[in-house]
Amino acid sequence: MIVCKFGGSSVADADQLKKVKYIVSKNIDRQILIVSAPGKRNKEDIKVTDLLYASSEAAKSDGSCKNVFAQVRERFLGILNDLKLDSSEMIKSLDEVELKIDAGAGTDYAASRGEYLNARLISIYFGWEFVDAEELIVINDNGTINENTWNLCKERLSGSNYIIPGFYGKSLSNKVKTFSRGGSDISGSIIAKAVGASLYENWTDVAGCYNADPRYIDGAYPIPQMTYREVRELSIVGASVFHPEAIIPVHEAGIPINIKNTNADEEKGTMITLDRDDNNTEVIGVSGETGFTKLSINKLLLMVEPSIYNVLISIVKNNGITPILTFINPDSICWFFPSRAITDKLLENLKVRLINEFNIDSIEYKRELSIIGLVGQGLKKKPVALAKSICALNDSKINIDSINYGASEMTLYISVDEKDSRAAVQSIFNANFK
């Protein structure tokens, strides 16, 4: 059995849904579909989910979401009309959703209705059974998957040909609860694990996971095969084709993921597996993310006392900030934080406290940094990638702030000034992939 998830761009209008139906018809093993809300049809368009968020706000402020929700209604009825389908069932569903939003059903309920309504519509179009995600997925208060989910899925999905809305499930108190944005990937991964799928296909509007962001990097191309861990490592530094949390269920079950393009279904896309054929490839991808602040703490023999790190990290977290990356040696700790989460005042207060309590030799912080990551299972085996990258940055006259191999030994982190981020990624890409 193949579980397929189709993203917002893949289900944005009637023409896209015709492509989806054609793709599904080409393989009888494609028996379960998880669908997103309709995405943008063009750059100026508004996502249905954003309209539903606006509907919830209008209900709170004005007592009615009618005017905003009219755009949601028009979108779904327009798709039905273009597909020449009867709209009576959808009108009932739309009326019910509008009433509940007006009655104060809440933000999660409103946000989830794009997936819910689209799954209803697609089930009509396909003639497949609609199964509400509330029947299948239980989400704990902290956003993790409740163990009851697996039994609920196995019991309910005992046959085939199901259409399931992504992005949400139910809370422990039986209310609609959503995942984070992009959470339909998580829904698909959960269902794939629960039914023991042979493959999880993730259909989107790109031809797989690229070795660099093709919107900004000249010459970027899809990666044929990569591992679960490589996807996770790339996601840390900004690559966003596949939701990083969605890796976990299929990784646990050993189910391969195929990221494919709905608009070019013959292309192979990217296959994500536990291992890959060429494990010695130095670098499979490079990505960069801006908006970081670095905090460096230096003291002779700082890490000799094993408990000192726990004390330091507790102080940092008690100030409401959590490091994204941590680099340690015997005399220093270096933390990278999202800049938006840490003010200058907080940094200064933290600096004073650490100096007073631990007799620190020096504490420095630096704003407006970008972290670039080179990822590949063979990175440490063939360190020529490091030499190539340093030379490329030097040739481009880009100053390097810091360099560090990650704990996984498959990622090389290089921090540079934020203003040099895109040029740095392009230089490193050219050195390693051209």
Listing DSSP states for 324-353 in one string gives: SEEEEETTEEEEEEEGGG--HHHHHHHHHH
Distance in angstroms (rounded) separating the CA atoms of residues 213 and 219? 10
pLDDT band at 277 (very low <50, low <70, confident <90, very high): confident
Find the distance separating the first CA and the last CA of the chain, reported in whole Å: 39
Residue 21 sits in the same domain as residue 135: yes
DSSP 3-state assignment of 57? helix
Query: Which structure tokens are listed for 253?
Result: 């079950």
φ, ψ for residue 431, nearest 5 deg: -70, -30
Residue 306 sits in the same domain as residue 427: yes
In a domain, 256, yes or no: no
Check whether 306 has a pLDDT greater than 70: no
Residues near 98 by beta carbon (within 8 Å), at least 6 away in sequence: 55, 65, 66, 69, 73
Query: Which structure tokens are listed for 85?
Result: 């389908």
Query: Which structure tokens are listed for 181?
Result: 């944005």
Any idea which of 47-51, 69-73, 87-91, 244-248 has the lowest mean pLDDT?
244-248
In a domain, 149, yes or no: yes
Residue 292 sits in the same domain as residue 416: yes
* CATH label of the domain that carries residue 426: 3.30.2130.10
What is the average per-residue pLDDT within 52-79? 96
Distance in angstroms (rounded) separating the CA atoms of residues 175 and 134? 8
Check whether 280 has a pLDDT greater than 60: no
Nearest to 238 by CA among 340, 324, 366: 324
Residue 20 sits in the same domain as residue 166: yes
Residue 18 sits in the same domain as residue 155: yes
pLDDT band at 243 (very low <50, low <70, confident <90, very high): confident
Pairing of strands 325-329, 168-170: unpaired
For CA atoms 103, 104, 108, 114, the dihedral sign is positive
376-404 per-position pLDDT tens digit: 987 877 778 889 999 999 999 999 999 98
Spatial contact of 286 and 428, defined as CB atoms under 8 Å apart:
yes
Nearest to 223 by CA among 286, 288, 274: 286
Question: Which of 182, 207, 240 is the last residue before a domain boundary?
Answer: 182
DSSP 3-state assignment of 268? coil
Residue 290 sits in the same domain as residue 423: yes
Q: What pLDDT score was predicted for residue 279?
A: 58
Spatial contact of 5 and 34, defined as CB atoms under 8 Å apart:
yes
In a domain, 5, yes or no: no
Query: Which structure tokens are listed for 370?
Result: 């970008």
In a domain, 18, yes or no: yes
Taking only Cα atoms into account, the Rg of the chain, rounded to an integer number of angstroms, comes to: 24
In a domain, 420, yes or no: yes
Question: Which of 158, 182, 206 is the last residue before a domain boundary?
Answer: 182
Angle formed at CA 189 by CA 120 and CA 43, multiple of 5 degrees: 60
For CA atoms 424, 428, 433, 434, the dihedral sign is positive
Alpha helices in 40-87 (DSSP H): 48-62, 66-82
The DSSP secondary-structure symbol of 139 reads B
pLDDT band at 48 (very low <50, low <70, confident <90, very high): very high
Q: What pLDDT score was predicted for residue 346?
A: 87
Q: What pLDDT score was predicted for residue 8?
A: 93
Distance in angstroms (rounded) separating the CA atoms of residues 417 and 405? 19
Check whether 281 has a pLDDT greater than 70: no
Report the share of the chain in percent with pLDDT over 70: 97
Nearest to 282 by CA among 390, 160, 387, 135: 387
Spatial contact of 285 and 226, defined as CB atoms under 8 Å apart:
yes
Name the residue range of residue 132's domain. 12-27+35-182
Any idea which of 77-86, 108-117, 203-212, 343-352 has the lowest mean pLDDT?
343-352
Spatial contact of 209 and 356, defined as CB atoms under 8 Å apart:
no
In a domain, 218, yes or no: no
Spatial contact of 250 and 196, defined as CB atoms under 8 Å apart:
no
Residue 43 sits in the same domain as residue 164: yes
H or E stretch at 313:
helix 308-318
**How many domains, the chain?**
2
Nearest to 283 by CA among 325, 233, 336: 233
Task: Using the structure block, give the residue that is written with the tokens 């809305």.
Answer: 165
Q: What pLDDT score was predicted for residue 37?
A: 97
Q: What pLDDT score was predicted for residue 383?
A: 77
Q: What pLDDT score was predicted for residue 109?
A: 97
**Global pTM value:** 0.87
Mean pLDDT of the chain: 91
In a domain, 347, yes or no: yes
CA quadruple 391, 394, 399, 402: dihedral, nearest 10: 10
Spatial contact of 258 and 199, defined as CB atoms under 8 Å apart:
yes
Check whether 411 has a pLDDT greater than 60: yes
Residue 309's Cβ-count burial label (10 Å; 0-12, 13-18, 19+) is middle
Check whether 181 has a pLDDT greater than 80: no
Query: Which structure tokens are listed for 188?
Result: 């698909």
Question: Which of 182, 208, 228 is the last residue before a domain boundary?
Answer: 182
Q: What pLDDT score was predicted for residue 302?
A: 81
106-154 per-position pLDDT tens digit: 999 999 999 999 999 999 999 999 999 999 999 999 888 999 999 999 9
* CATH label of the domain that carries residue 125: 3.40.1160.10
Distance in angstroms (rounded) separating the CA atoms of residues 318 and 225? 41
In a domain, 249, yes or no: no
